[in-house]
Structure 1
């Protein structure tokens, strides 16, 4: 009953328009008092909030947000899509696949779904429309490509999971690489099928000279994920140091290479980063007291007892977890879902001896589905705001990508090698 009251209260407050952080804070305090907690112990609220955001792992978040903001005005997305277009544009679904490839590379820089979709969408939609692509399908394809942002490392979602569970960020990043690329490949195959079925035109085949020019334009942009991911896997950087180095690198690219970034843009970029960081950290901070309330009310222990007596196999539990996350993603923002469910799902996984790194990737993919499903569907609204298309029309064309993401989440849940294989290789 207490757990039901928590979820019901959170859902009602969110539907009323209360921000995620305030919702979790009020719900936690109310639950604590309803469960018989001593009101004089509410001094624990600021204490738990502070301890939740004081970990070194979370320091990488503002740098990744800064890198995403610098990329949005730094010309990187344009060069990436241009290179993909000259390489793939002459094939069936070539432009849509070029957009997905650009999103994959963007995902390996920013770790944000919205940043990927917005950065590539503003460049790719015009060319796809010019070539006769249905605008709603184009929007859905780029929205799906953007959904790779929280999955392909570096990922803010995986950083949060690492901070909440005390697992290795590098291990999670390595584990997310293969599933993320597998999703990208599946998206490309689906978009090619749809484009061939609908008879969308292809662009003339580029010459090798044009491809070389496209590669030269995109070369410095393509080095960004090498710096971030390669540096971490090689042991040269921690996640925080890699984010800081990459932010500086993107700043240099925008200022001196692409020359689209001006010094007068820096104050607004920094201020936007501060605002975004404050919003994210406020949500994470309130989750600190929320976790304390869960432990106080013994909800995780009761849930484990119920699950272990009801289900004898982790397989059924995994399917239930994926279903819960996908359904919640239709109504809540991914960060809030992660902070609410991790204290419940992680103890259950431990009780069955399930690997937490593998669980983190499964949860990450299932949560990413939420950016494509209304009524919340962040990437749907991002693309609608860019193009003026109706959200539900984009959502209809995104259904194929949603099914693919759910199937890949199930595959990763039941095939450990998809996520843990590379993590084991890089140690």
Structure 2
């Protein structure tokens, strides 16, 4: 049954069938040919996969991010970041990193971050003398912060798939997110100094206090949402609904930039994005159930324990595996299919489930801007109007920088667990 499931899934992937649909069809094929149960099982398992209160946070955080983007939040955050770091050589490149880090705490999505920030900063960097491929590479790599800095949709999915505390995962994402941001920041400063990029990046920079005043309401959103979660005032799911209400109030009554047409567009885009993710969740839930029923997790666990004698070699193997998976498989599907299989094995090696969740998400975040299927890569190229080949040379060093961060997060657990130990344990 396992071989049939894997083969049918690969055939559907090769035929360019959407991932969520592929998972459902492959599972239905496996039930029909190799099981004595009714296809009604598929309907039951799909419903059970979606019948989860924490999953409600996914569409609501997507909607809050789209509403804030429609309200012009990205332009205000760019102004703020530029007022902070724009005065140095390479300041625009560093502004991209800082802005993505702040916007990530609003949107929870790397693709949304790529489009919202990229449409402003990629043309700005090109005007200031950055090669267009380099500008797009900076945006694609910086936008991965959208899945590390909470609220993060991949972290929500990992929490649901493995029954791990989403609040603890959000808090654990701060360390890796700040580490990746700092590493990219330092690399870009060196790159701009060596290549001579960004000598005039400080032009047209607003004073810091003026930029703070202009973006204050935007900055309060993550403070309210995350402060409420960590303070025990509300759950992550309740926080997502508060984020939507806050985005509407700020966009309509404070910034007065949200029109009926913009709200409709945000609702439409959120519905489409949420539907895609929910179909993947439904298909992955059914697929994972069949794989578990076949006994494959026990077989894999036994094989892993025979091959890898300690958790360090196991974690290295996981890093290599996830790096390859991230290059070809969409992040949500990879988490929902692999996390239930790998997390119990990691726990048996003594790896904290919260730490392991960050290992998975940071690895797959790297895959978001690596060829051939990196979603951030295609989004940045679409914004810049260039073919993917033009971005790759500038992208390679950034991949190596983030790869070094992946290893640090993997082998220095306190990068992720430090804030969790402080607040929760």
- TM-score interval, smaller chain: over 0.9
What are the superposed Cα offsets for residues 244-266 of structure 1, whole Å, 9 maximum, x if unpaired? Answer: 11122122222233333212322
Say which of 300, 303, 309 aligns to 1:303: 300
Q: Judge conservation of contact 2:86–2:205 (CA < 8 Å) in 1.
A: no
How far does the alpha carbon of each residue in 1:218-254 deviate from its partner, in whole angstroms, 9 at most, with x for none? 2111111111211111111211111111122122222
Name the CA distance, whole Å, in 1 between partners of 2:352 and 2:84: 39
Q: Who is 1:420 aligned against?
A: 417
Q: Distance in 2 between matches of 1:128 and 1:270?
A: 31
Q: Please, which moves more after superposition, 47-56 or 272-281?
A: 272-281
CA distance in 2, matches of 1:201, 1:335: 36
Provide structure 1 residue ranges, at least 5 long, that are not aligned to the other structure: none
Look up the match of 2:29: 30
> What CA distance in whole angstroms lies between the structure 2 residues aligned with 1:171 and 1:65?
20
CA distance in 2, matches of 1:180, 1:204: 25
Q: 1:298 to 1:209 in 2, by over 3 A?
A: closer
Residue 98 of structure 1 and its aligned partner are, at CA, apart by: 0.7
Does the 8 Å CA contact 1:366/1:405 hold for their aligned counterparts? no
Q: Give the C-alpha shift of residue 212 in structure 1.
A: 1.7
Match of 1:162 among 159, 166, 171: 159
- Partners of 2:367 and 2:76 in 1: how far apart? 29
Scaled by the length of structure 2, the TM-score of the pair is 0.95
| Contact 2:70 2:266 (C-alpha < 8 Å) held by counterparts | no
Do structure 1's residue 270 and structure 2's residue 267 form an aligned pair? Answer: yes
Count of matched residue pairs: 424
Q: 1:255 to 1:203 in 2, by over 3 A?
A: farther
177, 180, 183: which one pairs with 1:186?
Answer: 183
1:201 and 2:209 correspond: no
1:25-69 Cα offsets, whole Å, 9 max, x none, are 1222333455x311x332111111111111111010111110121
* 1:69 aligned residue: 66
Q: Tell which deviates more after alignment, 236-245 or 359-368.
A: 236-245
Q: Kindly indicate whether the alpha-carbon contact (under 8 Å) linking 1:334 and 1:368 is maintained by their aligned counterparts in 2.
A: yes
Distance 2:89 2:11 in 1: 46
Paired residue for 1:387?
384
* Alignment correspondent of 2:249: 252
Distance 2:201 2:306 in 1: 62
Whether 2:131 is the aligned partner of 1:142: answer: no
Q: Distance in 2 between matches of 1:7 and 1:392?
A: 31
RMSD: 1.8
Which of 232, 235, 239 in structure 1 is aligned with 2:236? 239
Alpha-carbon spacing, 1:207–1:120, altered in 2? closer, same or farther (3 Å): closer
- Shift of the 187–142 alpha-carbon distance from structure 1 to 2, 3 Å rule, reads same
Q: With the length of structure 1 as denominator, give the TM-score of the two structures.
A: 0.95
Whole-Å Cα distance in 2 between the matches of residues 250 and 344 of structure 1? 37
2:32·2:39 contact (CA, 8 Å) conserved in 1?
A: no
Q: Where do 4+ consecutive residues of structure 1 move more than 4 Å? A: 2-5, 204-209
State the shift of 1:119 in Å. Answer: 0.7
Kindly indicate whether the alpha-carbon contact (under 8 Å) linking 1:111 and 1:155 is maintained by their aligned counterparts in 2: yes
1:98-137 aligned at under 5 Å gives the runs: 98-137=95-134
Partner of 2:17: 18
How far apart are the structure 2 equivalents of 1:238 and 1:340? 25
Moved more, 413-422 or 9-18: 9-18
In 1: Cα distance, 2:65 partner to 2:157 partner: 17
- Offset from partner CA, 1:59-97 (integer Å, 9 cap, x none): 101111101211221111101111111221221211110
Q: What residue is the counterpart of 1:279 in the other structure?
A: 276
Choose the corresponding residue for 2:55, options 37, 40, 58. 58
Distance in 1 (CA, whole Å) between partners of 2:202 and 2:388 is 33
Deviation at 1:204, TM superposition (A): 6.6
For structure 2, list consecutive stretches of 5 or more residues without a partner in the other structure. none
- Distance change (3 Å), C-alpha of 1:224 and 1:203: farther
Distance 1:215 1:314, change over 3 A: same
Match of residue 85 from structure 1: 82
